Chains A and B, each alone.
Chain A
Amino acid sequence: MSLATHLPILPVVIPALAAPFALLVMRRRRRLGIAIAIVSCLALLATALTILAQVADGTVLAYAVGAWPAPFGIALVADRLAAMMLVLTSLLALIALIHAVVTRADRKGWHFHPLFQFQLMGLNGAFLTGDLFNLFVFFEVLLIASYGLMLHGQGPARLKAGLQYVVVNLVGSSVFLIALGMLYALTGTLNMADMGLRVAAVAPADQGMLRIAGLLLVSVFALKAAVAPLHLWLPRTYAVSTPAVAALFAIMTKVGVYSLIRVVPQVFGEGAGAAAWVPAPWLFPAAMVSAVIGFAGVFVARSMSEQASYAVIGSTGTLLIAVAGWREDSLGAALFYLVHSTIAAAALFLVADVTARRRGAFADSASPGPAFVGRGGIALMFMAAAIAASGLPPLSGFIGKLMILKSVAPLPHWGWAWGVILVTTLIGVIGFARVGSAVFWKTGEACDAPLIPALRRDLAAPALALALLAALSIAAGRVSAYAEAAAAQVLDPAQAAAAVLTEAAP
């Protein structure tokens, strides 16, 4: 047994080891703790890239935890989609961590770094697991870490929003467990690949139960993804979180989307008999409504971080419009847009933070304030992030939206989809322009308040995020080809199921 055979579990093990070590050393030697966190993130990135290289040709890495064969034990599955999400998570984590360290946001409380690592463990586990109950467990791991991170720095506003966030997610967890119980009672398995093979054999009398279980499961994922009408918790939560944390949270809604993409074709796909594609008719209208609500929120937001939160909802909506087609090309376009929109949302949060840090009492509110140091550079950054988030050329949002528009064209409701995507893009552009002109143009003369000294270093993380977006635009061809291959693999679950159920045997 070499290390290479244990590759799929490393993204879970590395942060799980780094977190307690960081916890132990943080109290006395802060720098060592930070070093552990950064090394862990770099190791995660390296591992994710290695996994990506191994699965790029279409192999499915299945790992049986504890060497229990697949339907009985817990299986970890790394395919193209999971590898892509792992790379995205580790890149985003690196950006958020750099920002937290540089702006000293990690010093406002004791346990930022351990919580951050546990959050990564939960995220990576959720992307890798091939078992529905384990998906629940990793959801809880990432959620409880996110509660801690969200409350990091404290203050009444954060506590109020945090309480709502926790309560909403507890309700979501209960519904998740109910759906799991129903699915287990009906199919007798919790392994996703195995369940996919067994749903077709569910007795006709139980089809109603199966449909309800599927819809409950999908509604939980929709809650995590903040799809309308289950999005109400998101803007307040994200807008009051520490910006570095909010940037990391940009991937949390994508966990919901990922779970949808993973579970629906595998369990409720073509082979599911009468329950095939149960959630499909609900997803499309919900996605359109959340795209509209999200970009309407971008239009009316009162601060830059609130605007970024609504941009997250809007981009998830746009993403799900493409996902709801459940076709290879639309899913491929969606996956490309998923990568893009995650990084773009993170860039928006970080730019909002560097702006707020220079405007003193005005923070990041969308009202004209005093002139501040380094305005030009930050204005350019905001413009780039806004271009990316709303989907204008030349950044990758434009490519993503174009691919989505092209891929939904053969679908029956393509007119609605085109209308919503194009109009929301316009609304988004106007909203970003409004906030940008208020914050960066209408600045008065430097008032009597002293200018806050510029700290150039804090521009590093947003610049890194924007550089990633630029790289994504340049490499769009290769990334979209990969995304399409990943989509094809997701929509053909039989091959993955074979790999999981046979290869995982010792």
Chain B
Amino acid sequence: MTEVAHSGPDPLALLPEIFLLAGAITALLTGSFLARQRQWITRVIAVVALVASAAAAAAALGAPEASVYEGSYTVDAATGGARLIVAVSALLVILLGRDELKGTDRESEHHVLVLLASLGAVVLAGTSDLLVLGVAFLLASVPLYALIGMNRTRGGAEAALKTYLLGALLGIALLLGVTITYGLAGTTDYAGLASGMATAPGAAVAVGLLGIIAGLMFKAGAVPGHFWVPDAAQGAGTASAAFATTVPKVGGFIAAYRLLDAVHGTVNWPLLIAVLAALTMTLGNLAAYTQDDPRRLLGWSTVSQAGYLLMPVAVAGSVPLALPALLVYLAGYAVSNLAAFAVTAAYPDRRTLAGFQGLGSARPWHAGALVVSLLSLVGTPPTAVFLGKLTVFTAAWDGGFWWLTVIAALNTTVSLFYYLRWIAPVFRAAGPDTPGAGDFSPRPWAARTAVGAAFLILVIGLAAGLAWAALAGAPHS
């Protein structure tokens, strides 16, 4: 979208985004002409586009920071991280949804929408201009409504409606916020926001920022924009649910980080974000506690994870560790959440926690993948989210929010309750009253994705530190 709106010096700077867009268009056109049983071709197109996008993003990592298209888009570590996380996540979504969608009449549409929503999330993360932010919000949201409602069940329809209403409301808030901020600052370019707003009345600045943040919290699945998340996780198709609880977050959090970093020192937004973080993690954890449907449990768990993800956003611009912490946590969270969803996708008929009784002895690898992903969501070393938790806790404390670190640590303990409620039955022998009675016949692709993602969790947990040092240059020996 953006690359047509502006003429820029270096179109290749947006190569990862171009791959996503090209993939979406190709898949859309191809899908329209294909017979239903040959729609797998669109899956191949999507996979190729995502792999190409990830490869281009990886190749661009470590390059010097650049502002392209007249400052409306920034290519830096945050954008690079977003591109990579989004592409790999979308790839995992397509793999875990392969069995669910193969041969259905909505297969090609699903892939097109995944690619478009991924593009929206990346643009959301990379933009440094309020107008592009508005466009990216729509690009990331509209495909999402369709994805959630696509399998046409009652739950899916309700979830889609809820998502749509909340998205429309908070989208308007975002656009209103953009308008007010533009009016106050006289520019939509992030680089000029802080100086432009220096003389503006604080209350007006706060209203403008609040509107934008409210919109981004919808994407991030954080308070106050979180109501759609558990319904989408439970009601949508498994692949769509996995996508909706993972990829939009990447865009939402990095966009919030970038904007708040740019308006550093205007109003006291760090405290607001810190309070939102505390509310989000507490609410998500308490609500997840009583859930019996694994996917609804995961939905509320992603709300609580959004709370931890807000911690580095609260200290944006004041702590050097904030941005790496956000990226590390996002990467770890994305892989962990998708691994857990992949397990539910492998056993789609088991919709209660008790249904997983006996998985440990029947399918030890899948049980292992589930345990690794859930322990990662808890934040046990050496998993990916542990590294994320370590860095976001440190960043928040370093920025002065030590109380938030303590609340987050307490919340982590609470979260252990419900993750264990799922782990415990897995290693119990299946009883005669177990739904599905211990006969575990998995959907193969989803199961393989789960195991692969679980390995990725451990690899990120053990090696991400070294990769990070290689990219950023180590301050310590």
Q: Is chain B found bound to chain A in the same assembly?
A: no
